[in-house]
Amino acid sequence: MKVYMDHAATTPVDSRVVEAMEPYFSDKYGNPSSLYTAGLEAREAVEDARGRVARLLNGAPEGIIFTSGGTESNNLALKGVAFANRKKGRHIITTKIEHHAVLEPCEWLAKQGFEITYLPVDEHGLVKPESLEEALRDDTILVSIMHANNEIGTIEPIEELAGIVKDHGAYFHTDAVQTYGKIPVDVQKMNVDLLSLSSHKIYGPKGVGALYVRRGVRMDPLLHGGGHEFRKRSGTENVPGIVGLGKAAEIAEKEMDRDAKKLTRLRDRLIKGALAIENSRLNGHPEKRLPNNANFVFLFVEGESLILELDFYGIAANTGSACSSKTLEPSHVLSAIGLKPEETHGSLRLTLGRQNTKEEVDYVLEVLPKVVGRLRQISPFKTDFVMEE
């Protein structure tokens, strides 16, 4: 059995999305900046997609800046606002559990003379509003807090957090890469000025995303050039990609509620079953979590081994283990919620998607104890991490 349960990493492109994109490769291939018919046709397709993407977050179409993905959207938001507003202030607030695509731009900005405050989170991964209140300063120009965490699935109280910043004069950005298209996202209600989203997390193609920018936000472009995307992001528009994202947004608008209900049921079944394995634990918030996210620790086994072993059974999953990362550092998110390094090694993330079934969940629940059991058999640790001398 082949079971893909890594939808937080990427998703298959929906066949309806592929179909929508297809004409724009070799048939309607015009450059949207061109004046002739083929160009106008491409322009229309781009603007149509812009409208759909905007509607799913209740924002103005002119606020949608198409980018190459979530990483670019985050970089544009952070660096764009930082460079354009540095005469006003050089202080930026974010959290310890952001995606690298927020943390790394922040670290780079720190080298350019900006000062970054990283807010802590509680054991479930929630940012405490008081900590934001305390961190805000006169020279704070930007607050960036993710809508939901990609590893542990915790959903942050953005409405409340953005409310605190609202009267302060700093811009509020949220990385909604893991929520847009999965749970309701409403820039008006959430009161955010900038919001990042990515296509390949919602059954759209890789290589395209968007940044929502509220009217009036002062920001520099990150990609300078021909002045595309309302002079905020240059480069010939990725027409098929944008059309694909538009279609993915359209489908999400219609099917999101139904999907979320189904996924929540599957997720809860998965969590209940997996926690029957001894020395296991759920990471993230018990309720305030993405409908499709389950994240566990299985003590005494190591995540990369777990992933490879599951792969032999046809199951695609993820881990926050250090051994599986390019930097050999354990997940900063699991560390931030208080896990010890030796615990983070045993983390397993299963993220469900539209195509997953109850049978697949049951198959995973049948395989998982075997796999964990076998690795524990190989492991010198059975009840504790102490190394006997």
Partner 1 sequence: MYSKTLIDHFRNPRNMGRMENPDAVGKGGNPVCGDVMYIYLKIKDNRIEDIKFETFGCAAAIGTTSMITEMAKGKTLEEAMKITKKDVENAVGGLPPIKRHCSNLSADVLRKAIEKYLAEQKAKSGKKKGK
Ligand X SMILES: Cc1ncc(COP(=O)(O)O)c(C=O)c1O
Catalytic residues: 323
378 binds, among ligand X, partner 1, a copy of itself, none (CB under 5 to 8 A by kind): partner 1
The single residue among 112, 236, 355, 357 that binds ligand X, judged by CB under 6 A, is 236
Site membership for ligand X, residue 13 (CB under 6 A): no
HEC letters along the chain = CCEECECCCCCCCCHHHHHHHCHHHHCCCCCCCCCCHHHHHHHHHHHHHHHHHHHCCCCCHHHEEEECCHHHHHHHHHHHHHHHCCCCCCEEEEECCCCHHHHHHHHHHHHCCCEEEEECCCCCCCCCHHHHHHHCCCCEEEEECCCECCCCCEECCHHHHHHHHHCCCCEEEEECCCCECCECCCHHHHCCCEEEEEHHHCCCCCCCEEEEECCCCCCCCCCCCCCHHHHCCCCCCCHHHHHHHHHHHHHHHHHHHHHHHHHHHHHHHHHHHHCCCCCEEECCCCCCECCCEEEEEECCCCHHHHHHHHHHCCEECECCCHHHCCCCCCCHHHHHCCCCHHHHCCEEEEECCCCCCHHHHHHHHHHHHHHHHHHHHHCCCCCCCCCCC
Which residues contribute to the site for partner 1 (CB under 8 A)? 35, 40, 300-302, 304-305, 308-309, 312, 321-324, 326, 328, 330, 340-342, 345, 377-381, 385, 387, 389
- Closest separation between CB of residue 68 and ligand X, Å? 8
174 contact, one of partner 1, ligand X, a copy of itself, none, CB 5-8 Å limit per kind = none
Q: Which of 235, 273, 338, 369 forms a contact with ligand X (CB under 6 A)?
A: 235
- 150 near ligand X (CB under 6 A): yes
* Complex with ligand X: residue 46 or 177, whichever CB lies closer: 177
Which one of ligand X, partner 1, a copy of itself, none is in contact with 305 (Cβ closer than 5 to 8 A by kind)? partner 1
Residue 110 or 378 with smaller CB distance to partner 1:
378
The one of partner 1, a copy of itself, ligand X, none whose footprint includes residue 301, by CB under 5 to 8 A per kind, is: partner 1
CA dihedral 175, 19, 236, 77 (to 10 degrees): 0
236 near a copy of itself, judged by CB under 8 A:
yes
Q: Say whether residue 69 binds ligand X (CB under 6 A).
A: yes
| Of 66 and 300, CB closest to a copy of itself | 66
**Binding of a copy of itself by 329 (CB under 8 A):** no
Contact flag: residue 244 with ligand X (CB under 6 A): no
Return the closest-CA partner of residue 43 out of 52, 30, 26.
30
Asked if 188 is part of the footprint of a copy of itself (rule: CB under 8 A), the reply reads no
| Contact pattern from residue 53 through residue 92 relative to a copy of itself, giving x for each residue in contact according to CB under 8 A and a dash for the rest | --------------xxxxxx-xx-------x---------
Nearer to partner 1, 1 or 308 (CB): 308
Stretch that binds a copy of itself, among 138-146, 235-243, 264-272, 334-342 (CB under 8 A): 235-243
Provide the minimum distance between the beta carbon of 378 and partner 1 in the complex, in angstroms, as a whole number.
Answer: 6
